[in-house]
Amino acid sequence: MRDGFQFIGRIPYPVTEPKHLVVASEVATMDFLRLHGIPVPKIYSYSATAENAAGTEFIFMEFIRGTNLGDVWYNLPERARITVVAKLVELESKLFALEFPASGSLYHTKDLPDGFSKVDVPIAKFDRDGDFCIGPDTTLRMWYGKRGDIQIHRGPYTEPAAALVAGAKKEIAYLTKFGRPLHPFQHMWREIYNYQKQSPSDHLDSLEKYLQIAPYLIPHDNEVLARPTLRHPDLQPNNIIVSDKLEITSLLDWQHCAIRPLFLQCGIPNSLQNYGDAVSESLEVPELPPNFDDLGEREQFEQAVLLRRRQLHYYYIAKTAQLNSVHYDALAHDFSVVRRKLFDHASEPWEGDNVTLKADLIYLTENWSSITAPQSSARGDSKVPCPISFTENEVAECERLHSAQVEADEQLQTCRDVVGIGPEGWVPLEQYEETRQRARKLKAAALEAAESNEERTRLEEHWIFGDFDEEEYS
């Protein structure tokens, strides 16, 4: 402004849906968090409808001064990174301590339109009772594409079982009405299936099996793990503002924030986790290999990067055990990762992948007694037989395809590293032309290595970084 005052004006992307609920929920979430001492920008004004002079939904919020952690994160020394991780965990402990009567997303009661279910949120120590409520879950996958037109229950959920199955029921409703054969969205997978489109009927079968086993995923041996818990939807460096002394001054971007049972919310943030690595999962103190000084320059670089990933994983777990015991207990609970994987893979929009969820279900059947024993013991029940099964041939074929997909994912990551892009394909403007040139060289090399005209045609048609119409996947 002319007097030097600065603020942020945000409007939703054209593809953001449902705009009214998403904007209203983000505003209410930030207002609620500020009331409880969580550092988030102050909301000055907002409109959850487009019926205003601007012709769009908007949020006017505080401009937070400081350094975006993403700008300095990769240059911080080890001790500074540990300091930041500790402060993040401390902030998370405050989030995990907040109490809610249901799962879903937060709203100001006045902003939730008629026709939507809601559960009031009482606020201790504040004269604001009746101001906040929990309503429909605004998570993107619940509304993606044509899914937003389907009349299904998206919350609030007063029971953990309802939160567990809502995403799967949404996807069943979508595929029943709109499902059609698709090539896997992940282009690198298409060769595995001889470039044939995959039928949604196989995934529908897996979703129905998920609904059968979902009640047994609730950890009845520890009621605290079912408590509705709020967590930042995308806790990564670019959403964190820090001071010169690395104090966290604000957490940004609460769009699509949801409250879920703790056993579904727990986990290491993607920017800090190193799952799949034996050293990280063993929780050993990470160190450089003893022969580090004898390695070549590139190998030393790779080991240094690996050490960094292991350190972040290790220190996040260590600080969580020290500062956020509720979260640590949820992380350490038997088969914690399996539960979240099953929930996520059953809730995600289907994109031609019939294998990932099925592989999770097969793993569950193979470990059924170990997973369900604590729950059965807590309820005083005898051992419960697994309600789903797979033939030997189904298991063998699924494992073959799943291994092939994992290998293809590794190849894709190598290609991304060569080109210099992340999972979403985004690059800084100043690097765009150089990155495009590397992508052209990679494609030219792949076409030259092709052994037949048919293979070259397939590569052209299904090139991993090629443009294509994503509309059929929505």
Summarize pLDDT for 310-360 with one digit per residue, the tens. 899 999 999 999 999 999 999 999 888 899 999 999 999 999 999 999 999
- 35-88 pLDDT, tens digit per residue, is 999 999 999 999 999 999 999 999 999 999 999 998 998 889 989 999 999 999
Is the per-residue pLDDT at 375 higher than 80? Answer: no
- Phi and psi of 324, rounded to 5°? -140, 70
Total count of residues recorded for the chain: 474
pTM of this structure: 0.91
Query: What is the residue-averaged pLDDT of the chain?
Result: 91
pLDDT value, residue 430? 87
**294-300 mean pLDDT:** 86
**288-300 mean pLDDT:** 87
CB atoms within 10 A of CB 467: 6
pLDDT value, residue 474? 86
Is the per-residue pLDDT at 380 higher than 60? Answer: no
pLDDT-derived band at 215, boundaries 50, 70, 90: very high
pLDDT-derived band at 304, boundaries 50, 70, 90: confident
pLDDT-derived band at 383, boundaries 50, 70, 90: confident
pLDDT value, residue 101? 96
Q: Sort 231 into a burial class: Cβ within 10 Å, 0-12 / 13-18 / 19+.
A: buried
pLDDT value, residue 376? 54
pLDDT value, residue 379? 56
**396-425 mean pLDDT:** 90
CA distance 333 to 263: 9
pLDDT value, residue 470? 83
Q: Sort 427 into a burial class: Cβ within 10 Å, 0-12 / 13-18 / 19+.
A: middle
Is the per-residue pLDDT at 117 higher than 60? Answer: yes
CA distance 287 to 285: 7
pLDDT value, residue 354? 97
Is the per-residue pLDDT at 382 higher than 70? Answer: no
CB atoms within 10 A of CB 371: 21
pLDDT value, residue 341? 94
**90-109 mean pLDDT:** 96
pLDDT-derived band at 377, boundaries 50, 70, 90: low
> Is the separation of the CB atoms in 171 and 152 below 8 Å?
no
pLDDT value, residue 129? 67
Of all residues in the chain, the percent with pLDDT exceeding 70 is 97
Higher pLDDT, 372 or 359: 359
Among 378, 352, 354, 404, smallest CA distance to 209 is for 354
